[in-house]
Amino acid sequence: MERIGEVIESSTTRFTAGAYELLAAPPFGSLVRAQTRSAGIAVYGLVYEIRTGSKEPGGRAMMRGRTYSGRNLYDAEIYHEHPDLAEVLQTEFSAITVGYCERDRRYQYLPPHPPPVHYSVYPCDDAELGGFCESSDFFRSVLFAAQIPSDELLSAAIRATARARPDSRDYLVYAGRELASLLKDDYDRLTAILRRIRP
């Protein structure tokens, strides 16, 4: 599978990648895989933030929707009329680390090392997503992570996994039971998440 970006910031619990194509980050809640210095180990992350802005530190994008002659440009037209935007803007996405794989085995806890800066990031296909989500051990890590939209993120990941599996309804029931166990003391939060994952 073709890589979609490279790591530009990395820590034990999360990493940020620059997308190779402007506006082409993987969707919110999707599972991505980042390579490590060890050939047989890769780190899995759930995309929790996507942003596009100036490549210049502290810089901001400028408005391009109206030309000096007064002509109005809308949405995709702006990118067509200004192909240089791909050189001055960058799309980035951040992922919370939810596990790693070592050769053919998958683990849903933190890896020995984070992915190095400038190493490749790949999207996970349906088979890899389904395989990783056979276990729900990562649910707890996401639900109780700080400074991310954890409920929305986990809901999006569960919906994506259900769409990737032939037994989508069974998976949603399984995920709902796991959530009920984790959030048995927080009924309001549980019901809000369950509403977000139902088909």
**Burial of residue 107 (number of CB atoms within 10 Å: 0-12, 13-18, 19+):** middle
What mean pLDDT is predicted for residues 27-31? 97
pLDDT at 81: 86
Bridge partners for 7 per DSSP:
17
pLDDT at 182: 96
23 has pLDDT over 90: yes
The 10 Å CB-count burial string (b at 16+, else e) for 179-192 is beebbeeeeeebee
Q: At 73, which amino acid appears?
A: L
Bridge partners for 41 per DSSP:
102
138 has pLDDT over 80: yes
**Residue 166's CB: how many other CB atoms inside 10 A?**
8
Give the confidence band of 198 by pLDDT, cuts at 50, 70, 90.
confident
d(CA 31, CA 48) in angstroms, rounded, equals: 10
pLDDT at 95: 98
69 has pLDDT over 90: no
Give Dmax (Cα) for the chain. 62
**Burial of residue 71 (number of CB atoms within 10 Å: 0-12, 13-18, 19+):** exposed
Bridge partners for 117 per DSSP:
none
199 has pLDDT over 80: no
d(CA 28, CA 45) in angstroms, rounded, equals: 11
28 has pLDDT over 80: yes
What percent of the chain clears pLDDT 70, i.e. is strictly above it?
Answer: 99
130 has pLDDT over 80: yes
Q: What mean pLDDT value characterizes the chain?
A: 94
Rg (CA), the chain: 19
Give the confidence band of 196 by pLDDT, cuts at 50, 70, 90.
very high
Give the confidence band of 65 by pLDDT, cuts at 50, 70, 90.
confident
